[in-house]
Amino acid sequence: MTQTSVNAATKAVLGIDIGGSGIKGAPVDVQTGELLGERIRLDTPQPSTPQAVATTVRQLVEQFDWKGPLGCTFPAIVHNGVTMSAANVDKSWIQAPAEQILADAVGLPVKLVNDADAAGLAEVVFGAAKGLTGKTLVLTLGTGIGSALIVDGKLITNTEFGHVIFPKDDIAEKYCSAKVKEDLDLKYKQYAMRLNEYLLHLQLLLSPDRVIIGGGISKKHDKFIPELTGLRFPVVPAALKNDAGIVGAALEAANAFGL
């Protein structure tokens, strides 16, 4: 089946998830949330400057032989296509016209969205938050900690709860991200203790009705979620696991371009 026929038959959109260590993507059926092909991952270039990342995104688009609009996530506050911060990527992204940079690099329409917001959107439409009311907090545990807050099914964009001051003079993602677990070689039980402290802090700040854990580490949720205690809300793994960002990016592009 050619790429053109895939698009015509299924309303497919290419979703690309840009992270601090990897850039991954796949075509997505935006009506079902299913990936329509094998996910491809390329290493995030170091240093992760706008030009270097844009070149890697173009390589990914070329590998899929993609010809239509695409959605991209980015680990930053994204306001009207401009990246206002730079979490775990080169600081030259701050106040960069990121959406336009990527669109120019690939020669296609691009919709840019915060990475955790994309994951949260995917979980609302297709995953663990589908049909739920109240406050849902999605946390993506990876190189850093991304967050998405959904209230009665509506996404509150560009929250940065991974950057709250915690536990003392530093930010939460430097205390209990998945990268911290790896860097310190923490056992899952040790890691769960750190994550539990952070969730108790978020409980004080937000009183969420539920927390959904995403990111690559969510594949091992059975090793640390059962260790969490003292919380007034359930903690569950993301239904879409580490594909949530890809799916959410595709959904945002479909919405933006009327697909």
Q: Which CATH number characterizes residue 94's domain?
A: 3.30.420.40
* Count of structural domains within the chain: 2
Residues 7 and 93 grouped into a single domain:
yes
Residue 198: domain span: 128-238
In a domain, residue 251? The reply is: no
Query: Which of 56, 89, 114 represents a domain boundary (last residue)?
Result: 114
Q: What's the rounded Cα separation, in Å, for the pair 130 and 208?
A: 16
- Round to the nearest angstrom and report the end-to-end CA distance of the chain: 20
One digit per residue, pLDDT tens: the chain, 259 residues?
223 334 445 689 999 999 888 999 999 999 999 999 999 999 999 999 999 999 999 999 999 999 999 999 999 999 999 999 997 899 999 999 999 999 999 999 999 999 999 999 999 999 999 999 999 999 999 888 999 999 998 999 999 999 999 999 999 999 999 999 999 999 999 999 999 999 999 999 999 999 999 988 999 999 999 999 999 999 999 999 889 999 999 999 999 999 8
Residues 14 and 79 grouped into a single domain:
yes
In a domain, residue 180? The reply is: yes
Residues 7 and 110 grouped into a single domain:
yes
In a domain, residue 40? The reply is: yes
Going from the C-alpha of 119 to that of each of 139, 153, 160, 182, the distances in angstroms are 9, 13, 14, 22
pTM score of the predicted model: 0.88
Q: 235 — alpha (psi -120 to 50), left (phi > 0) or beta?
A: beta
